[in-house]
Amino acid sequence: MKRLLPLLSLLVASLAQAQGASDAKAAPEKLERAVFATNWKAQAAHGGFYQALADGTYRRFGLDVEIRQGGPQVNNRPLLPAGRIDFLMTGNLLHSFDNVKQGVPVVAVAAIFQKDPQALLAHPGQGYENFAKLKDAPVALIAKDGQFTWWQWLTVRHGFRDEALRPYNYNLGPFLASKAAIQQGYSVAEPIYVKKQGGFDPVVHLLADHGFSTYSTLIETRRDTAEKRPQYVQRFVDASIIGWYRYLYGERKAANALMLKENPEMTEEELEASLALLRSQGIVESGEALERGIGAMNSARIADFHDNMVRAGLYKAGEVDLAKVADTRFVNRRVGLDLRKQLGGR
């Protein structure tokens, strides 16, 4: 995959160029390069970013963006402080807390998801319709990332047991084979795959509905980038937000095509089904995002979530300097709300 990247980025760049050329507005002469690494292979949950790339939004904002996929064995996170990438997508605030705790100078600048789609899936008819029953499951398939972050919260706050923990390698097999097993997933993705491979609709419990109140799909950048090149950061954030509105309400064929190219295992119907779930579950647009635009963040909510995690024993009080976690000046500016109305959003 990594070897294909230069080729793919060339492809992506030429695609973006094709889109941008058809745009009415003139592209600025010199584009600034931005490398954005995601936390998974291309999927609908990344749709807005690929949209901004595919329809030339990034270019119009003067940015030459390369999106680098994550994946099951890929950990893009160290690349940001190391200077290899400019922006990073992270799945929840725990990553930000860890960074600040370890003195890693990165900061969150936007929160695309107001709700974390992290969920636990179970077989129907096993009593797991009741969330409280999940902790009694004999087998809980949790991947490495979750195991070292929110699983701990589950054990403390909701009584889950380490004995049930089994490594999850992003293979649905063990879950499908065992009716008593539960596994992690994104509420907007895995249920679709389970339906496809297993032929049933799984029971889905959003962690967000049970106290895991973090933002998700955050955009992180280096502290010195945010301080020394605020315009650059602003443009990336704004363009991404616009991309998200366009993906949700506009013409997204090119974005889907791009994601299918990057992730050949994805299908168009899965993308559309996932997008429908994103909408119906209010992942991107709910709460403050409805008034302040996609990406909205506020410190009070971050602090509240942090206190939850302290109570769950993930951090000690005072370990994390909350002021350093997020820089909210790049969002909450109602960017894209007109576009939304224009595109007929709700």
Partner 1 sequence: MSANAHGEATPRWLRWALPAAVFIGTLLAWELLVRARDIPHYILPAPSLICSTLAANFGSLAQAWWVTIKITFGALLLAAAGGVLLAGVFSLSRTFELALVPYAVVLQVTPIVAIAPLILIYVDSTTAALLICAWIVAFFPILSNTVIGLRAADPNLRDLFRLYRATPWQRLRWLLLPSALPYFVAGLKISGGLALIGAVVAEFAAGAAGRETGLASRILEASFRTDMPRMYAALVLVAATGVAIYLLFNLLSWALLGRWHATERSD
Report the interface residues with partner 1, using CB under 8 A: 75, 77-78, 81-82, 95, 98-99, 102-105, 142-145, 147-149, 162-163, 165-169, 171, 173-174
Nearer to partner 1, 58 or 186 (CB): 186
Nearer to partner 1, 147 or 328 (CB): 147
C-alpha to C-alpha distance for 9 and 122, rounded to whole angstroms: 38
Minimal distance in Å, beta carbon 148 to partner 1? 5
C-alpha to C-alpha distance for 228 and 230, rounded to whole angstroms: 6
> What's the Rg (C-alpha) of the chain?
20
Minimal distance in Å, beta carbon 54 to partner 1? 31
Minimal distance in Å, beta carbon 214 to partner 1? 16
Nearer to partner 1, 147 or 298 (CB): 147
On whether the CB atoms of residues 217 and 232 are closer than 8 A, the answer is no
Nearer to partner 1, 81 or 293 (CB): 81
C-alpha to C-alpha distance for 310 and 156, rounded to whole angstroms: 11
Q: Which of 188, 142, 138 has its CA nearest to residue 163? A: 138
Tokens (6 digits) for 203:
């029971």
In the 8-state DSSP scheme, what is residue 88? Answer: E
Nearer to partner 1, 170 or 249 (CB): 170
C-alpha to C-alpha distance for 279 and 294, rounded to whole angstroms: 13
Strands of 171-271, DSSP E: 182-186, 203-206, 216-222
Tokens (6 digits) for 121:
């899936």
Minimal distance in Å, beta carbon 326 to partner 1? 16
Nearer to partner 1, 28 or 78 (CB): 78
On whether the CB atoms of residues 153 and 309 are closer than 8 A, the answer is yes
Contacts of 226 (CB under 8 A, 6+ apart): 107, 109, 233, 327, 330
Minimal distance in Å, beta carbon 77 to partner 1? 7
Minimal distance in Å, beta carbon 149 to partner 1? 7
